[in-house]
Amino acid sequence: MCSSCYDEMEHLSCQTNRIIDGKKVFCAGVYQKNLQKLIRGLKYHNQPDLAYYLAKFMAEYFEKITEDRDFQIIPVPIFEKRKKRRKYNHMELVGEELARLTGMKYNPELIKRIKDTKPQYNLKKPQRAENLKDAFEVDTTKLQEGKLLIIDDICTTGSTFEEMIKEFQKNGIEDIICLAATTPFGE
């Protein structure tokens, strides 16, 4: 990722992309061009160093939304078998960098993926919801001070955020904001 390629990536306007169970979801950019290449390189092509650039893109966007830093960053977890195959969870790497860049807490242990779900990209919204049903489990002993900032790379239908929010709500955790690096849709 060179600086001119990074500078070509554009943020969406700072507005709520959608509301899921009363929680705001923000999307920093559109999944296309350099931003798409960045995510694909990080996620599928064993380029973990790209996590910094995705975190920087998300941090720059989030700073326009709020100056509040009383958050614990919660990366979307992947199933352990998939993590071993990829050698890392790309969103955990992004979460570490985002915490470093913003000074927010990082909490990758609060929620785990306990179901080996299918990749979501070829599924329609009802299939996504069924695929993710009961896929997550919260460990309330890992809860830290501060609101939750759930982060993911792409928000298409919002099914992943929705299922995680439901699991947090089942455990009495309500103060949540979601931030995706991208959405496939423009404004």
Thinking of the domain 10-183, which architecture would CATH place it in?
A: 3-Layer(aba) Sandwich (3.40)
pTM of the predicted model as reported, rounded to 2 decimal places = 0.94
- Structure token pair of residue 23: 């929680």
Distance CA 9, CA 78 (A): 26
Q: Per-residue pLDDT for 143 more than 90?
A: yes
Helix or strand run (H / E) with residue 187: none
Q: Tens digit of pLDDT for each residue in 90-136?
A: 999 999 999 999 999 999 999 999 998 887 877 888 888 888 999 99
* Domain map (residue ranges) of the chain: 10-183
Q: Backbone phi, then psi, for 105, in 5-degree steps?
A: -75, 160
Q: Tens digit of pLDDT for each residue in 43-100?
A: 999 999 999 999 999 999 999 999 999 999 999 999 999 899 889 999 999 999 999 9
